Homo-oligomer: A and B are copies of this chain.
Amino acid sequence: MTHEFEVIHQFFKPLSHSKQLCASLDMGIGDDGAVLSCRPDSQLVVVTDTLIEGIHFPYGTDAYDIAWKALAVNLSDLAAMGAAPGFFSLALTLPKSLLSAKNSQAWLKSFSQGLADLAELYDMALVGGDTTHAEHLSITITAQGWVEIGQAITRGHAQPAEDIYVSGLIGEGGLGLKIVQAQTDVVADCNEHPAVIKLNRPHPRVALGLALKGVASSAIDVSDGLLADLSHILEASEVGAVIETTAIPVSAAMQQYLQKTEDWMFPFRCGDDYELCFTAPSDKANQIAQLAESLGLSLTQIGKIHAEAGKLTLLKSGHEIKVQSTLGFEHF
């Protein structure tokens, strides 16, 4: 195992370049801090997420996927704000067991490749960070992006009578975790299952977030479970909502799972979707339909906002159903 400066030089310094930052990243990895020029017409958006082995991803997850996910969950937060990805810092705590392992170089190569591949998709530069070691693997990324002044989409502006939408499929990350944990699925290699792929290598809805500026009145990324995350919008906007549960878009595999387990609330509770949940006035419906088509991404209306602050009503084919809690997956 080589020491900190060699690790940074070999594996992470190559990630410190991006097209958009060529002119503005005057000093990146290799000094006490990174120096960046700001965009005169934009505000800075700052997000931070930590992933810990055994808590936020299962033991045995590929190094490539861990790195991908650590950046993706941050990009998902930027997407929910309507921000264009800019740059990120990496605080990487490696487990002591890896330091002495024969495959440490291969692990670091795979990890840095996962980070590089996702960063390249969005032309993001790694501008700095810290490497440490401890008992368990832990990754904290602070990602930063840009949004035109005053254009950030927040949680606090949902209005009564607006429509509530979600992107993509709900509950896939949670289903993927069930498959990995229980190996109950019949497929030979569970890593090939679409839900496991979505769990390990989520695609943040960056393009959708950018396109929702001026369309959505509020947005949040679905990371802790749809109902928990929607609750944050309701709380911040001081409104309520009615959700038609049969409208929630789920995969065929999820439908099978629900019929087998009768755990109907599962897709609403489980985390790790990294889809966007957003609200918009009804007169934006056509624009949103066109957006779905142009992005090749389903955008499904699942309910409506109403004025009764904090009240969340779930319907099943129009009839109210009782739920014990709207809280989703709690990592903490």
Contact = CB atoms under 8 A, between A and B. Distances in A.
Contact of A332 (B3, B43, B140): B3
A38 interface: yes
Interface stretch (A106-114, A131-139, A187-195, A311-319): A131-139
Given A38-B38, A43-B26, A130 B50 contact: yes
A44 B35 contact: yes
Oligomeric state, in number of copies? 2
A14 interface: no
Interface in A149-189: 149-150, 152, 154-156
Interface residues of A, number: 67
Interface stretch (A73-81, A247-255, A285-293): A73-81
Given A39-B38, A149-B37, A128 B93 contact: no
Task: Tell me if A's interface is mostly helix, strand, loop or mixed.
Answer: strand
Contacts of A34: 45-47
A32 interface: yes
Contacts of A91: 48-50, 91, 140, 142
A31 interface: yes
Contact of A33 (B52, B77, B138): B77
Given A31-B81, A332-B131, A44 B48 contact: no
A44 B26 CA distance: 10
A50 B36 CA distance: 21
Interface string A120-135: 0000000111111111
B93 A32 contact: no
Contacts of A140: 50, 91, 130, 140
Contacts of A31: 81, 154-156, 236
A220 interface: yes
A174 B290 CA distance: 63
Nearest to A36: B44
A36 B47 CA distance: 11
A53 B127 CA distance: 26
Interface of A: 3-4, 7, 26-27, 30-40, 42-50, 52, 55-56, 77-78, 80-81, 83, 87, 89-91, 93, 127-136, 138, 140, 142, 144-145, 147, 149-150, 152, 154-156, 219-221, 236, 330-332
